[in-house]
Structure formats: C-alpha cells, structure tokens
Amino acid sequence: MTTLQQTDAAGDLDFDAVVIGAGLSGMYMLYRLRERGLKVRVLEAGTGVGGTWYWNRYPGARFDSESWSYGFSFSQELLDEWDWQEHFAGQPEVERYCRHVAQKFDLNADIQFRARVAAAHFDAEGHCWTVRLDDGTSYRTRFLISAIGLLSAPTMPRFEGIEDFQGQWCHTGLWPKEGIDYAGKRVAVIGTGASGVQAIQEICKTAAHLTVFQRRPNWCTPLHNGPITKPEMDEIRSRYDEIFELCRQTAACFVHTINPRGTFEVSEAERLAFWEERYDGQGFGIWQGNFRDMLVDREANRLMSEFVADKIRQRVKDPKTADLLIPDDHGFGTRRVPQETGYYEVYNRDNVSLVSMLETPIERITASGVRTSEKDYDFDVIIYATGFDAVTGAFDRIDIRGNGGVKLKEKWTGGPRTFVGVMVDDFPNMFMIMGPHAALGNNPRSIEYNVEWIRDLIGHVTDEGLTRTEARPDSVAEWNAFVHEKAEGLLSNEIDSWMTGINMNVEGKQTRTIVRYSGTAPEYRAFCDEVAATGYRELDFG
Ligand code: NAP
C-alpha cells in the first residue's frame, strides 16, 4: 500500500489524513486509516482520549446505553479482555476503557493532544486541506475528517454577572479534572436535562444544600443500573455476536426492540402491564422499546405521558413539587429522556429545593449567588448543566471553508444539508463521523459503520490514483429530501430541543430545523451500502 505521501500531486503534504477529535470516532478512524497505510494525525484539544467521556467528568456522569452494547465491536481480543463493571458504566470506567483501547492499539503515537483546531481551508488546486491550530501551527493534509461529536460545544446561559460570582462555577461539559469539592457546601445546579439529572442525583448526597433551578422539566425514567459480576460478564461475552446483531437490526442501534403493536391494539390492562414492565426494566426500553405509535400518535403519547406523570406523583412527596417536575409542554419521549436513579426522591430530601425558573426566572448572577425575580440566593458553587450547541455547534466553532472560500457555517444557515451525514457539497475530501443527518442512537454502533464507510471511500480514491472526491449537489438534495420525509409526523419535531436545532443561548438557533436523521439505522446503512456497491455514483472524483 502506497501512502499519499509517496504519490502526492501537491508534493508538500504533512499527512494523508487529519482527524479532528480523539473520542471514540477519532480513535477508530485512526485505527482503520493507519491499517490502510495512511499517515494520519489526530488533533485533540484535551490531554487524553475519550471525547465526551473525557470532558463530561461531572459527578454522576454515566452511560445510558448498556455498557456491553456500547463498547467497540471490531476487535474480538478487546471484547475478550475487557470486563464491564456496571450495566451502565460511570464516566471513570468509560474513560479507563478509552485509555485501554488507545494503549492496546498504540493510538497515542498519532494523536496530538492540546491541539485545538481553529480553521480548516480547502485548497482547490492542491486538492488538500490546510488545518490551523489555535497556537498558529498548521498542517496540510489530503483528507480532513471531523470526529468532533454531536454534543461537544458547551453553552452557557446568557445571564448577566456570570463572571462576577466569587465562588466556584463550571459547566458540566467542562468539569475540571481536579474535581470540585462541593461536600458540605451550598450548591446550585442550573438545568435539568440528562446531565443535570445525573449530577443532581449525586451532588445532593453530600452538599449542605442543593438548589435546583429548573426551566422546563423533562420526563425521566429509571435506569436500573447494577454491577456486573464475573459470571454475568462471561455470559454477556458469550452473547456478543447476538447483542451486536440485535443492535444492527434496531432503529437506533439499542438493544431494545420496539413493540410492533399499537397502543390501542391491546386492552388497557395489557397496556398498563407492559408499561409497568418497561418502567421496571433497564435503560431505554421504555423509550426505544415502547408501542410502535407512541411517538407519532398524540393520544397514545398522552396516555404514556400520564402513566409517567403518575409515577412522578407517587415518588415525590410534596404535590406542588411533583407538579413542577411534570412536563406540560411536551409528551413523553419527544425530547431526549434522561435516565435516573432515585432522581425524583432527591426532592424528598431536606437539603434539596427546587426553584422553577418559569415562575421566578433568574435575573442575574451576583457575586454571592443567584438573583431570581423573587429573591437572592447565596451559593458556594454554581453548576451550569445548560447543555450544548448541538449537532452543528462544534462545526460552527471552527472556521471551515471549502471551494472558493465558502464557509460551512454560512452554507448551513437555515439548517445542515449533507450527503448521508458524511459529506457536504463544496467541501471536497472532508468527511464527518456522526455528522448532521447521519444515523444516531447508540452511537458507537453508528460510529463503527461511518468510519468503515469513510475508510472504504478513501481507499477507493487512493486505489484509483485520484486525489479529490466531493458530494454532488443533487446527491445532497436527494439525501436532504429523504431526511425531511423521514421526519414527517414525528411528535418530537413539534418540540423545542437540541434535537430540533434549538438553543436559546446561541444566536441564530431559535428556529426549529431538521438536524437529525430520523429514519432507521438499517435503512441508513442500506442506502450507504448501495452507494459504495454501485461505485459512488453520487460523488464527483478528480
Ligand atoms: P440539555 O438536555 O440541553 O439540557 C440543558 C438544560 O439546561 C435544560 O434543562 C435547559 O432548560 C436548561 N437551560 C439551558 N439554558 C438555560 C437558560 N438560559 N436558563 C435556564 N435554563 C437553561 O443538555 P444536557 O443535559 O447536557 O444533555 C444534552 C444531551 O447530552 C442529552 O440529551 C444526551 O443526548 C446527552 N447526554 C447523554 C448522557 C448519557 O448518555 N449518559 C448524559 C448526559 C447528556 P430548557 O429545557 O427549558 O431549555
């Protein structure tokens, strides 16, 4: 296998491929491209591998996919030697796993840490990218691959006074490595999405007092985590083929299969028994394995929401607090469902209080705490669990320019448009892993697929002695139409959330757009397989 270094038309390339990000996507891309003999450099802003699992080290951070369905599936040796300790591993275990993978496959040798990419510009004559770091270093590479994650650009609320606060504060997605000592202190958590819910459950155990500032509540359901014993792990290991095959068949690559029946095709008793079973079951079964019409039929969704609302009322002692915790602006499952372990019981504790920002909005952050429309609160620590500029946010933070200097951010004004979530017209030789409009869900399953598809395409380019490939505008239009068609009728598309491109903290992200592919992963893979099998007719080459 010759590398592009040896055949390079431009003559002065530093690398065949630059990968941005050393999370699971970047690590696996490196492994696969290096296997093909390419000279690869991964540029990672952090000081270690893991991506999401490197940055999100807030207390309580953990999987909500079953650990054994989430790990890499490509290496039998890795599967044989790694024992998951919990059904839903916590961040320290996941980070350990990422480090283990990096060490096992000697990935660190080609990863440059503390390397934050500021810009990437395409050179249309040289058929290559110039990638510039924020310290001014730049590299020239034939291929550019983004492995920057869907939820990696943390966003702060636009409150006045954030910097005035004299105590300690941070965002959950940028939790300091040395940790935050909140034990015995007065702590505020702002935000009750999946991150806030996980952090709140943990912080309340040792804080002197925890005040939760909630804007819109979410529907949370039990995770039912537990340790994995050695015999249990051996049994899981014996079923890995079966587990990954199941993930290949399900809509979002989880191990939960949708109930093929409609909500109203069963008796009320049967329906309730099924929901009870799902509520008592592990993980996303209640969301991803519910009746087939739960996310499209308003009445079915209303009944399901009522079922979960009753659970909240049963678990929270104070009826007014329970009411505050029950969403009334969206139905169950139409936003991402946070998974919890004793979350609702947190509000029965004497050291926890809940402030509804809908009733008493935060007016500003002060030197000593938070001022709402009602009163001033004093805190030692403020934690912002306020989410991310999702899907396109991490791209927007890099100055990416394609043919003729066209800016990706501008091209995506009004919503992203891609070819299978991997390529963009006018951005030759650029590939995205888990880009907008690619299949999501239990992400590593889709990451492995995306990476292997990109590897094969790069292989096709290099094997043919070519130096450039680009998605044709009509191919992008076709994929975009398909993505939009698949989104029709979903109740979730009527709701403001990161899944519909909304982030009130970010300029220009106040209008709902289709940022997510909502067809099934098997459909997605069938389409992409066909593209490859028929010689990539949807792409231009040069
Ligand atoms: P999120 O779901 O976007 O939640 C952000 C929270 O902050 C919301 O409660 C939001 O309130 C609130 N907020 C934001 N800006 C605010 C403002 N200016 N004033 C008041 N409240 C504000 O973010 P996240 O919890 O970090 O989760 C994001 C995604 O990351 C999840 O959906 C999930 O996909 C992923 N995640 C996964 C895991 C896991 O797999 N284990 C764990 C954590 C996160 P509103 O709802 O009113 O906007």
Using CA atoms, how far apart are residues 371 and 365, in angstroms rounded to an integer? 6
* List of long-range contacts for 370-378, beta carbons under 8 Å, 24+ apart: 370/188, 370/190, 370/211, 370/213, 377/188, 377/211, 378/186
Per-residue pLDDT of the chain (542 residues; tens, 9 = 90+): 334 444 444 458 999 999 999 999 999 999 999 999 999 999 999 999 999 999 999 999 999 999 999 999 999 999 999 999 999 999 999 999 999 999 999 999 999 999 999 999 999 999 999 999 999 999 999 999 999 999 999 999 999 999 999 999 999 999 999 999 999 999 999 999 999 999 999 999 999 999 999 999 999 999 999 999 999 999 999 999 999 999 999 999 999 999 999 999 999 999 999 999 999 999 999 999 999 999 999 999 999 999 999 999 999 999 999 999 999 999 999 999 999 999 999 999 999 999 999 999 999 999 999 999 999 999 999 999 999 999 999 999 999 999 999 999 999 998 999 999 999 999 999 999 999 999 999 999 999 999 999 999 999 999 999 999 999 999 999 999 999 999 999 999 999 999 999 999 999 999 999 999 999 999 999 999 999 999 999 999 99
Q: 354 and 237 in contact (C-beta within 8 Å)?
A: no
pLDDT for the residue numbered 83: 98
Sequence-distant (6+) residues with CB within 8 A of 150 are 390, 391, 394, 434, 440, 443
Ligand 1: lining residues by beta carbon, under 6 Å: 62-64, 151, 157, 190-196, 198, 215-216, 336, 357, 385-388, 498, 505
CA-closest residue to ligand 1 atom 11: 215
Q: Which helix (H) or strand (E) is 408 found in, with range?
A: helix 408-411
* List of long-range contacts for 460-467, beta carbons under 8 Å, 24+ apart: 460/532, 460/536, 461/541, 462/2, 462/4, 462/7, 462/36, 462/38, 464/541, 465/7, 466/541, 466/542, 467/4, 467/9, 467/10, 467/127, 467/128, 467/142, 467/542
502 C-alpha vs ligand 1 centroid, how far in Å? 11
Using CA atoms, how far apart are residues 473 and 37, in angstroms rounded to an integer? 31
Helices 230-238 and 240-249, packing angle to 10 deg: 60
Beta strands in 61-198, from DSSP E residues, in sequence order? 111-112, 117-123, 128-133, 138-146, 168-171, 186-190
**Domains, the chain:** 15-153+390-535 (3.50.50.60)
Tell me phi and psi for residue 299, to 5 degrees: -70, -40
Other C-beta atoms closer than 10 Å to the C-beta of 347 total: 21
- For a mutational test of ligand 1's pocket, the pick from 220, 336, 445, i.e. the residue with the most ligand atoms closer than 8 A to its C-beta, is 336
CA-closest residue to ligand 1 atom 20: 215
Q: 474 and 480 in contact (C-beta within 8 Å)?
A: no
Q: Could you tell me whether strands 339-340 and 221-222 are parallel, antiparallel, or unpaired per DSSP bridges?
A: parallel
71 C-alpha vs ligand 1 centroid, how far in Å? 24
Query: What tokens were used for 529?
Result: 């397989």
Using CA atoms, how far apart are residues 423 and 437, in angstroms rounded to an integer? 10
Partner residues linked to 140 by β-bridges? 130
pLDDT for the residue numbered 4: 43
Half-sphere exposure of 355 (CA within 13 A, CB side): 21
CA-closest residue to ligand 1 atom 23: 387
Q: DSSP string spanning 291-312?
A: BTTTTT-HHHHHHHHHHHHHHH
Using CA atoms, how far apart are residues 379 and 212, in angstroms rounded to an integer? 12
- Number of separate helices (H) and strands (E) present in the chain: 19, 20
CA-closest residue to ligand 1 atom 12: 191
198 C-alpha vs ligand 1 centroid, how far in Å? 11
Beta strands in 137-178, from DSSP E residues, in sequence order? 138-146, 168-171
Query: What tokens were used for 511?
Result: 């209008």
335 C-alpha vs ligand 1 centroid, how far in Å? 10
Closest by alpha carbon to 250, among 525, 64, 528? 525
Region of 501 please: left (phi>0), alpha (psi -120 to 50) or beta: left
Closest by alpha carbon to 42, among 64, 60, 24? 24
Using CA atoms, how far apart are residues 52 and 445, in angstroms rounded to an integer? 16
Q: 169 and 213 in contact (C-beta within 8 Å)?
A: no
pLDDT for the residue numbered 12: 86
- Write down the residue that tokens 């893979």 correspond to: 525
Using alpha carbons, list the distances in angstroms from residue 32 to 1, 21, 37, 128. 14, 15, 9, 20
pLDDT for the residue numbered 11: 58
195 C-alpha vs ligand 1 centroid, how far in Å? 6
- Write down the residue that tokens 């499209």 correspond to: 296
The atom number, within ligand 1, closest to the CA of 335 reads: 32
Sequence-distant (6+) residues with CB within 8 A of 454 are 29, 145, 422, 431, 433
Within its chain, how far is the Cα of 517 from the centroid?
A: 13
Using CA atoms, how far apart are residues 64 and 225, in angstroms rounded to an integer? 9
- Write down the residue that tokens 């529907």 correspond to: 219
- For a mutational test of ligand 1's pocket, the pick from 215, 500, 505, i.e. the residue with the most ligand atoms closer than 8 A to its C-beta, is 215
